[in-house]
Amino acid sequence: MSECRNETSYSVTQWVREELEKNTDPDYREFHKSLVPGMGNFLGVRVPQLRRISKKAAREDYWSFTKEADPEIYEELMIRGMMIGYARLSREERCRELEAFVPYINNWAICDCCCATYKFMEKDQEEWFAFLELYADSVQEYEIRFALVSILDFFINEEYIDRVLEILGKVHHEGYYVKMAAAWAVSVCYVKFPEKTEVFLRKNLLDDFTHNKAIQKIRESYRVSKEDKERLKELRRERVSYESGSK
């Protein structure tokens, strides 16, 4: 993207938008729209291309695109969020950028794809865990999901497992995408720390839907033994229904 350096009239934002236009896939657009409610204006660019564009734009001129990105366009919002993970920023700058970005998250795909880029949370874990705890206490569905997905991506380890389970036991929100994220996180906890997570499940701290969905996800894992799956089956509660969706 050397043209962005050599020609002041050619901005990073222009380059990003040209790349998005070149990589639009109408078939993918129609397919993905059916999976992601609340996505707004969707061009139909696949995630690997969005990651490629995000990395280059973050290296070239993070701040310009941050100011000019259109949050009403799904791909521009995702690039805006991914760039926080790819740009060379201080921890304080990342905190401020996340605080500005997270309120715009309005679907699970933006949330989860962006969270996956935040590998900087593997360092300074105490500070980042405290940062995420604030979002876990939010009343906003996607702010809570942002916290839970970031936690399951980077904090299910020996040092944090007890605190992770404590947070999961305290999250109570009627949003479908909070419940699904909590169930997903519990399933990852079980795969990595089965004994502690089974004790957690037996405390019955989760609502019925999240509890049963977590057990379902655990039993679907190829990393869980047949014996464990059968034992966990007995912990399921009476069948409950919830509005269908994904993730």
Q: How far apart are CA 143 and CA 178, in angstroms?
A: 9
pLDDT at 6 over 60: no
The confidence score (pLDDT) of residue 243 equals: 53
The confidence score (pLDDT) of residue 172 equals: 94
Q: How many residues does the chain have?
A: 247
pLDDT at 156 over 80: yes
pLDDT at 3 over 60: no
Find where tokens 């060379």 sit: 88
Average pLDDT for residues 80-102, to the nearest whole number? 98
Q: What is the pLDDT of residues 41-52, one digit of tens each?
A: 999 999 999 999
pLDDT at 246 over 60: no
Q: What is the pLDDT of residues 138-153, one digit of tens each?
A: 999 999 999 999 999 9
List, in sequence order, every residue forming a beta bridge with 73; answer none if it has no partner. 41
pLDDT at 8 over 50: no
Q: How far apart are CA 174 and CA 159, in angstroms?
A: 29
User: Is 247 within 8 Å of 108 (Cβ atoms)?
Assistant: yes
Q: How far apart are CA 198 and CA 89, in angstroms?
A: 39
Question: Which carries the bigger pLDDT value, residue 247 or residue 5?
Answer: 247
Residue type, 21: E
Average pLDDT for residues 222-246, to the nearest whole number? 83
Average pLDDT for residues 187-196, to the nearest whole number? 98
Rounding to the nearest 10 degrees, give the CA dihedral for residues 227, 163, 152, 95: 180
38 falls in which pLDDT band (50, 70, 90)? Answer: low
C-alpha distances in angstroms, 226 versus 57, 176, 217, 229, 237? 47, 29, 14, 5, 20
Quick check: helix, strand or coil at residue 87?
A: coil
pLDDT at 242 over 70: no
User: Is 163 within 8 Å of 171 (Cβ atoms)?
Assistant: no
Question: Domains (ranges, CATH) in the chain?
Answer: 1-105 (no CATH), 118-247 (1.25.40)
